[in-house]
A and B are shown apart, each in its own frame.
Chain A
Amino acid sequence: MTTDLAVPRTKATDRDRLRRQLQEYGVYLGVAALLIVNILFTPHFLSTENFRTQAVQVAPVLIVALGMALAIGSEGVDLSVGSVMALSTSLISLYLGYGIWMALAAAVLGGAAVGVANGALIAFIGVQPIVATLALMVAGRGIALVLLPQLKDVHDPGMAALGSGDLLGIPYLVLIATALTLLVAFVVRRTTFGRQLLAIGDSRPAARLAGLPVRRVLILVYVASGALAAIAGVLATARLTASDPTSLGTLMELSAITAVVVGGTPLSGGRVRIGGTVAGAVLIQLLTATLIKHDLPPSWTQIAQAVVIILAVYAARERVKR
């Protein structure tokens, strides 16, 4: 932003630059620190099996966080992602009878439809993203539970292969997450859509005056977020070999926002840091794994995650001097 135009070069600006660098690269330092701590103090941490488990577990969170990064980059947020995961798991179970491709299509289309609803509320009616997606967060889980009232086992060879299969030793889940990460990074960096998205996040009035298709871009952002969350729901279903619309994806919006924000994407929009988002998701996963492996109760994980969120946002805060 342009707020630091008139600041004279003093020690304070040096500190400013240090802080900005910490904000940019702090997440990588955090990941490195956690890795070192774990290698030193956690038994059996340095094994292929363990890294494989961690990577498989981080995949759904990362995929959701990619969509969240797009929403936050457009100066919005998507609170409905957890419910979209629940919706997609319900749709999978309902449509598996028609074949796995039909089920996958139904799940992803369902997520995209929620995205259309979110985007329409935000782009055409002007509802704030928090509220619009909050409404879809409640309604989405409701619809998921109406479609599939309770947990249901998923017996399908295709889904089982998707959840636990691998290619050259790399799990499908990790491959899919990697491919989607590269795709989103390409879209943000190299396409017109990506540039328009960042311009809108930077200043929506300016983007509108410049003649950008603000509404279309916003709708596409939320459609992408919904579709990505639905894919995450599909993968989680495949891994758990069960559809659980009651609890799948609860607090997922929180983990995704944390990953994005910890990764250095500012909540004020206009920037998207995909590498940071990946590192942010890995950081949360490692933090959780570390606490669990040292037999610390789940409550500690929640408190630790809350502290990490606040620290990250605090480090990234924009200084507005009165």
Chain B
Amino acid sequence: MTTPTNTPTDAVPPTATAPAPSWQDEATGPARAERLSALAQQHGALVTLIVAVSAASLSFDTFLTTDNLGNMAVSSAFLAVVALGMTFVIITGGIDLSVGSLFALGGVLAAWGSQYGTAVALLLPLAVCALIGLVNGLLIARSRLAPFIVTLAAMLGARGILLAVTDEGSRTYLVDKDSFFAKLGQGEALGIGVPVWITLALFVAGAVTLRRSRFGQYVYAVGGNEDAAALMGAPVARTKIAVYTLSGLCAGLAGALNAAWLVSGVTILGSGMELEAISAVVIGGTLLTGGFGFISGSLVGVLLLKVIQNVINQIGSLDSAYQQVVSGAFLAVVVMAQTWLGRRRRVL
């Protein structure tokens, strides 16, 4: 209504009726408030992380030990790789609920493949998971199906494939402890686990791609306003297909690395991981409505989640059920804050 570029073909008007979200449109008074809220949105997670780490290290002697930090870093690494792919998907305004299943499937395929060498152990899960991601992307982009329902089906289907591969979950494939593949998970360089290095490298590559490449611009454009992006000449469908493939690839890689770390493919892993990944991305400041977000925030989000889990574990009297209560409540609080700060009320 307010923007003259909206043609009658625009079938989804809610965003159009809301006040334009960009900072420049507002006058100087509210602009400062907007900028402050944007600042809180961008760095809120980092500040919370620093506070949480300080509080935890003051409360528990066991928190700031090399062992604990190293463990936390490695266990964060797998979730971080999944969250990396999820960040791209969410910035395009989509969601990928299949990553938990793909994580588990990737791990089992990697463990099975490791008997034929490291190349098979890595390429097989990557190929299968990327293929499932590609199918997700094709259905979402070309057939215009809702992302959450497509990836929900993929979550079910991938878990089914996983069960079929493992004789209904009864078989566990082991990785040879001395193989090069196992070193990818268990090895260390400069006192820091190899998975952590791999993850950091991937995050740098992801951040550069998102910020500096044309593909990254398309990702933001598609999430910001799909119709405008299409009019601008951005390959909307291809961008969407690419992000879901990337998300599947990341989940498969994370699963493979996790299998190398555990030296076995564990079938029951990954349930609830889609939620953790989405939480991490959202906590990191990426808007679920798409068009806005950053890679580094997702890393901070993962670390924050893991620190909270670690603290709950350290309080011995609290069992893991509280972890779920706290993470659910935390996600709700963050999304509430985000909705308020972002002033992007799509609904109402």
Contact = CB atoms under 8 A, between A and B. Distances in A.
B48 to A, nearest CB: 17
B217 to A, nearest CB: 20
Given A125-B340, A130-B148, A134-B331, A297 B153 contact: no
A131 B149 contact: no
Chain B interface bracket (under 10, 10 to 19, 20 to 34, 35 or more): 35 or more
21 contacts: A77-B148, A125-B340, A126-B346, A135-B329, A135-B331, A138-B272, A139-B327, A142-B321, A142-B327, A145-B319, A146-B325, A149-B319, A149-B321, A214-B348, A299-B161, A303-B160, A306-B154, A307-B157, A310-B150, A310-B153, A318-B144
B168 A298 contact: yes
Given A77-B148, A126-B347, A299-B164, A317 B324 contact: no
Main DSSP-derived SS at the A contact region: helix
A303 B164 contact: yes
Contacts of A205: 13-14, 17
A219 B96 CA distance: 27
A130 B289 CA distance: 12
A130 B95 contact: yes
Interface in A98-152: 117, 121-123, 125-128, 130-132, 134-143, 145-146, 149
Given A1-B11, A313-B146, 6 more contacts: A135-B335, A139-B325, A142-B325, A204-B347, A299-B164, A314-B145
A3 B346 CA distance: 22
Contacts of B35: none
B278 A134 contact: yes
A298 B159 CA distance: 11
A142 B161 contact: no
B144 A320 contact: yes
A134 B345 contact: no
A305 interface: yes
A205 B1 CA distance: 12
Nearest to A118: B332
A322 B345 CA distance: 27
Contact of A300 (B150, B164, B324, B340): B164
B284 to A, nearest CB: 14
A1 to B, nearest CB: 7
A301 interface: yes
Contacts of A143: 321, 325
A261 B149 contact: yes
Cβ-closest 4 pairs across A and B: A139-B328, A142-B324, A302-B160, A306-B157
A215 B13 CA distance: 19
Interface string B145-183: 110111011111101111110001000000000000000
A208 interface: yes
A145 B346 contact: no
Contacts of B326: 142
A266 to B, nearest CB: 10
A267 B146 contact: yes
Nearest to A147: B321
A310 to B, nearest CB: 5
Nearest to A301: B160
B145 A317 contact: yes
B288 interface: yes
Interface string B287-326: 0110000000000000000000000000000010111111
A251 interface: yes
Interface of A: 1, 3, 77, 117, 121-123, 125-128, 130-132, 134-143, 145-146, 149, 203-205, 208, 214-215, 251, 254, 257, 261, 267, 297-303, 305-307, 309-310, 313-314, 317-320, 322
A75 B161 CA distance: 31
A266 B220 CA distance: 28
B42 interface: no
A123 B347 CA distance: 8
A300 B275 contact: no
Given A145-B324, A146-B321, A298-B163, A313 B156 contact: no
A145 B321 contact: yes
A193 B315 CA distance: 47
Contacts of B9: 322
Contact of B163 (A145, A204, A299): A299
Contacts of A204: 14, 347-348
A153 B283 CA distance: 40
A126 B345 contact: yes
Contacts of A303: 156-157, 160-161, 164
B282 interface: yes
B139 interface: yes
B336 interface: yes
Given A300-B160, A310-B139, A317 B144 contact: yes
Contacts of B345: 126
A264 to B, nearest CB: 14
B331 A299 contact: no
A208 B17 CA distance: 12
B230 interface: yes
B332 A297 contact: no
Nearest to B157: A306
A111 B152 CA distance: 24
Contacts of B162: 299
Contact of A138 (B149, B168, B324): B324
